[in-house]
Amino acid sequence: MPIQVLMPALSPTMEKGNLAKWLKKEGEPIKSGDVIAEIETDKATMEVEATDEGTLGKILIPEGTADVAVNTPIAMILADGENAADLVKAPAPAAKAAESAPPAEAKAEAPQPKAAPHPTAPTSVSEPEPEVPEGTEFVTQTIREALRDAMAEEMRRDPDVFIMGEEVAEYQGAYKVTQGLLQEFGARRVIDTPITEHGFAGVGVGAAMTGLKPIVEFMTFNFAMQAIDQIINSAAKTLYMSGGQMGCSIVFRGPNGAAARVAAQHSQDYSAWYSQIPGLKVIAPFSAADYKGLLKAAIRDPNPVIFLENEVLYGHTGEVPKLDDYVVPIGKARVVRQGKDVTIVSWSMGMTYALKAAEELAKEGIEAEVIDLRTLRPMDTETIIASVQKTGRAVTVEEGWQQSGVGAEVAARIMEHAFDYLDAPVARVSGKDVPMPYAANLEKLALPSVAEVIAAAKAVSYR
């Protein structure tokens, strides 16, 4: 029986990639370990090695094919003694192989971008900012590119800005966010650090105390727990403890929250942790334009800023205004979708659930107003309250845990400022109160889902 070679994933969050090149021809013998093809994503290029011996019987996906879904059969290998005639016995190349992988119940729920790509999510938030002049041209960019451009622009603008972190320079970024920066700015300003989060966070803060403006990249915010003492005790508190003499303008950035299938130590949302700390500003954008405009604002801000990115979103695209200097103000939420019936408040990855749910709710005649907080500290209470005064109902959506979470804070503020407008208690949709499990089905259950957002919106609407 011929063996199928499947499109491999380069990372837990990869959904598709390009088949760049075939290094073996049909009919060529193959040994286990032979490189048979090259695949690439916007992040990296990888060689595909054969794991079986035989002959390359048939190439199913020709080289140069873009956007091949992970797990799609790309070739057939014939074992010894088999010939081309045997190919027909093999299962028909299933174009939908990628979608058949997740368990059925998870698919029905379809909350995961991996299982169900959200083409609407990134684009639906790409409406022009009110501050973007009419007639502005837009470019379609991945969030990864938007972040890189934001850093490059700020580094061109201010020689005191530099970036340091693990693999940011020669490797071009563990998630390829810093691609090209070393080439443009050199090793003095794009600095590879040893694996030493506590130490380099402290070095960054010390440099910032002298007036430099470091961008400290954490490979993920999970690793920043090693450095959290320097972030909170040194970065956030020094301005106050010095009576205003000495602060630090520094950005701590990197992916935050659940990636996919990386289990509890690598899947945690730190939104609530950092947003509790006076002295820090905390930003967690969703759209590509906001990633760019808010990172530029963060780099210019004279205070320590926590910039929470999301690995799953890095490859998502959006429309970014083509302006010389597109800066989005910190501390302003955005009404991404207008509605009169229920307010849904979220940010970052939570927005994918919120927007999808809003679409579904609209089909049932419930018009949800969706607010992207964008900045968690300082929080734009005004925008939330104005919306709740209109709708009388609110649902918060976050990947983090519920206890002492950002949703709890939003609910408290609504209670404090719009109690008389509420027609129902505020509902919270959140990550479940467990460490993130590894198994695919359990992981889906642990995360919020579109279905949960819909159910919560209906519950507060008594429908």
Partner 1 sequence: MAAPKKSVVAKESGQEKANGSPPEFTKAQELAALRDMLLIRRFEEKAGQLYGMGAIGGFCHLYIGQEAVVVGMQMALKPGDQVITGYRDHGHMLACGMSANGVMAELTGRRGGYSKGKGGSMHMFSLEKHFYGGHGIVGAQVSLGTGLAFANRYRGNDNVTLAYFGDGAANQGQVYESFNMAELWKLPVVYVIENNRYAMGTSVSRASAQSDFSKRGASFNIPGKQADGMDVRAVKAAADEAVAWCRGGNGPFILEMQTYRYRGHSMSDPAKYRTRDEVEKVRHESDPIEQVRNRLLAAKVSEDELKKIDAEVREIVNASADFAQHDPEPDPSELWTDVYR
Residues near partner 1 (CB under 8 A):
162, 188, 193-194, 196, 198-212, 229-230, 233-234, 238-247, 278-279, 281, 302-303
Q: Which stretches does DSSP call E strand in 239-393?
A: 250-255, 281-283, 304-309, 317-321, 334-337, 342-346, 368-372, 375-377
* Shortest CB 212 distance to partner 1, Å: 5
Q: 23-29, long-range: CB within 8 Å, 24+ apart, which pairs?
A: 24/56, 25/56, 26/56, 26/57, 26/58, 26/59, 27/55, 27/56, 28/55, 28/56, 29/54, 29/55, 29/56
- Cβ atoms of 2 and 79 within 8 Å: the answer is yes
* Shortest CB 191 distance to partner 1, Å: 8
| Cβ proximity to partner 1, 27 vs 302, nearer residue | 302
Helix (H, G, I), strand (E, B) or coil at 299: helix
DSSP-derived secondary structure letter, 86: G
| Cβ proximity to partner 1, 117 vs 206, nearer residue | 206
| Cβ proximity to partner 1, 72 vs 234, nearer residue | 234
| Cβ proximity to partner 1, 93 vs 206, nearer residue | 206
* Shortest CB 217 distance to partner 1, Å: 15
Tracing tokens 């919306």 back to the chain, one arrives at: 387
* Shortest CB 162 distance to partner 1, Å: 7
CA distance 198 to 255: 17
| Cβ proximity to partner 1, 18 vs 276, nearer residue | 276
Burial bucket for residue 419 (CB in 10 Å: 0-12, 13-18, 19+): exposed
Complete DSSP assignment for 350-404: HHHHHHHHHHHHHHTT--EEEEE--EEETT-HHHHHHHHHHHS-EEEE-SS-STT
- Cβ atoms of 232 and 277 within 8 Å: the answer is yes
To which H or E segment does residue 289 belong? helix 288-300
For 177, the token pair is: 């966010």
Q: Residue 73, preceding bond cis, omega within 30 degrees?
A: no
* Shortest CB 256 distance to partner 1, Å: 22
| Cβ proximity to partner 1, 240 vs 438, nearer residue | 240
* Shortest CB 148 distance to partner 1, Å: 22
- Cβ atoms of 45 and 33 within 8 Å: the answer is no
| Cβ proximity to partner 1, 60 vs 227, nearer residue | 227
CA distance 36 to 48: 6
Active site residue ranges: 197, 266
Cα 331 to Cα 246, 292, 297, 298, 377: the distances in Å are 23, 15, 11, 11, 7
* Shortest CB 226 distance to partner 1, Å: 9
Q: Which amino acid type is present at position 247?
A: G
